[in-house]
């Protein structure tokens, strides 16, 4: 499995059989579309008005299977939702013997039922941009402690070339808030198997793809 970062909350997951693209709104932010028509696309909030192309488009809870990729969508309260609303989706992807969770812009206090549905996670992708739009580092740390992944990948921090609807904090500021030094800063993260990952929690920064 290979992971690439494109800014915002957009991650490309390349498996042996498929490519999955999460939250590809990069064109709206001033960049270019990431996903191709052959890709599986996941969106952590419901689509409204747009019609993305893809072999499979998912924007809500449920169980899905395609090209040896298992996808579970877990309903969650969005960061800007009222208490009883659940307009966001947390995804768990299982492929190539790697368990990946994408948090999205959720309220950080996850319930026991949500944590049970998410289960064991090898790699956690979590936004840190704050400023009321998404999780800040305090909220991100809450989620990290609840899920206890082996690898943490931060997203939604400030990057050059993209204009977010709400400005995000810088990577440097987010790392200070997380009180974690990156194990690595890489252009692409290649993972072979969960059995080969360190048991010690690590933070890895993915550089934005050009």
Query: What does 162-173 look like in DSSP terms, one character per residue?
Result: ---SS----HHH
Tokens 């990577």 map to which residue?
A: 171
The answer on pLDDT for 133 being more than 90 is: no
pLDDT the model gives residue 53: 83
The answer on pLDDT for 20 being more than 90 is: yes
Mean pLDDT of 39-55: 88
Q: Structure tokens of 162?
A: 């993209």
pLDDT the model gives residue 52: 87
Mean pLDDT of 66-91: 90
The answer on pLDDT for 197 being more than 90 is: no
The answer on pLDDT for 66 being more than 90 is: yes
pLDDT the model gives residue 25: 93
Average pLDDT score, the chain: 93
Which residues 6+ apart lie within 8 Å of 198 measured at CB? 150
Tokens 């996903």 map to which residue?
A: 35
User: How is residue 156 annotated by DSSP?
Assistant: S
pLDDT the model gives residue 82: 77
Q: Model confidence over 136-165: pLDDT tens digits?
A: 999 999 999 999 999 999 999 999 999 998
Contact 120, 99 (CB under 8 A): yes
Mean pLDDT of 76-96: 88
Mean pLDDT of 107-124: 95
Task: Catalogue all structural domains in the chain, each as residue range(s) with its CATH number.
Answer: 2-206 (3.60.15.10)
Query: Given pLDDT bands bounded at 50, 70 and 90, which one contains residue 49?
Result: confident
The answer on pLDDT for 168 being more than 90 is: yes
pLDDT the model gives residue 184: 94
pLDDT the model gives residue 145: 95
Instruction: Tell me the residue ranges of DSSP E strands in 59-186.
Output: 62-66, 69-76, 88-95, 98-102, 123-127, 151-155, 184-186
Which residues 6+ apart lie within 8 Å of 210 measured at CB? none
Query: Given pLDDT bands bounded at 50, 70 and 90, which one contains residue 34?
Result: very high
pLDDT the model gives residue 51: 77
């Amino acid at each position: 499995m290979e992971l690439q970062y494109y800014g915002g909350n957009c991650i490309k997951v390349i498996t042996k059989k498929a490519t999955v693209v999460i939250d590809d709104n990069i064109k709206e932010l001033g960049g270019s579309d990431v996903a191709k028509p052959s890709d599986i696309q996941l969106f952590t909030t419901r689509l409204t008005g747009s019609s993305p192309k893809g072999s499979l488009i998912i924007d809500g809870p449920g169980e899905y299977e395609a090209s040896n990729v298992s996808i579970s969508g877990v309903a969650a309260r969005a960061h800007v939702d009222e208490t009883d609303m659940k307009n966001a989706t947390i995804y768990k992807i299982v492929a190539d013997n790697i368990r990946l969770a994408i948090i999205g812009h959720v309220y950080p206090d996850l319930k026991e039922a949500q944590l049970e549905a998410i289960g064991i996670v090898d790699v956690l992708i979590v936004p840190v941009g704050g400023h009321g739009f998404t999780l800040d580092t305090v909220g991100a740390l809450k989620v990290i402690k609840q899920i206890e992944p082996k690898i943490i990948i931060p997203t939604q921090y400030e990057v050059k070339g993209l204009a977010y609807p709400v400005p995000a904090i810088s990577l440097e500021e987010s790392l200070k808030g997380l009180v974690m030094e990156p194990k690595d800063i890489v252009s692409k993260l290649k993972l072979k198997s969960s059995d080969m990952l360190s048991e010690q929690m690590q933070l890895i920064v993915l550089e934005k793809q050009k």
